Amino acid sequence: MSSRRTLLGVMASAVLVGGLADVSPAEAQPNPATAMRLGLKGYDPVAYIILGAATPGVTNYEVIWDSVRYRFANARHRDLFKTDPDTYLPQFGGQCAMNMANGNLREADPTIWTISNGRLYVFASAAGSERFRQETAANAARAAANWRNLRNATTR
């Protein structure tokens, strides 16, 4: 008999005799947060705005927002995000802003970024970042229009 079957048999026996009666179904299931996409590859979205730096977050300070896990460097950043997520969220779901302006989904590198009009934009390459900044308003408008059509493709 496989060890998995043995474990299931032992658990079923324990339930029958009341050994696991205090375990709720939620506790028995894997943590759903571990299955969600990690935003900004774990970088702290608040740090870009507050510190002006790409700063790795830590697992102790996580928030799930719109089915995406975000990590923060500290409790203060986490709490700021929870109070006003729209201020700190990366534009276009954290996809490369220049690629989005061109109608393409491409994962961004969270260490290549810019803040424009108080909004965080991340890019797949330094060259894309530079092209985006040459015509920020026009590129941001095109990216926003494309995002409306492509946003659902990021959850597949």
What are 40-52's pLDDT values in tens digits? Answer: 999 999 999 999 9
Specify if 70 maps to a domain: yes
What is the model's pTM?
0.76
In a domain, 51, yes or no: yes
Please tell me the predicted confidence (pLDDT) of residue 9.
38
For the chain, the domain total comes to 1
Residue 16 lies in a domain: no
Neighbours of 153 (CB within 10 A): 10
User: With b meaning 16 or more CB within 10 Å and e meaning fewer, what string describes 123-152?
Assistant: bbeeebbebbeeeeeebbebbeebbeebee
Confidence at residue 152, expressed as pLDDT on a 0 to 100 scale? 80
User: Is 100 inside any structural domain?
Assistant: yes
144 sits in which H/E element? helix 136-150
Burial zone of 89 (CB within 10 Å; 0-12 exposed, 13-18 middle, 19+ buried) = buried
Confidence of residue 155 (pLDDT cuts 50, 70, 90): low
In a domain, 115, yes or no: yes
Predicted confidence at residue 79, as pLDDT, reads 98
* 10 is a domain residue: no
Assess if residue 125 is contained within a domain: yes
In tens, the pLDDT along 109-139 reads: 999 999 999 999 999 999 999 999 999 999 9
Helices (H) and strands (E) in the chain, counts: 8, 5
Residue 66 sits at φ, ψ, to 5 deg, of: 55, 45
Query: Which tokens in the block code for residue 123?
Result: 């890019």
Whether 8 maps to a domain, the answer reads: no
- Comparing 144 with 26, the larger pLDDT belongs to 144
**pLDDT over 70 percentage in the chain:** 76
Question: Where does the pLDDT of residue 153 fall: very low under 50, low under 70, confident under 90, or very high at 90 and above?
Answer: confident
Range of the domain at 61: 37-155
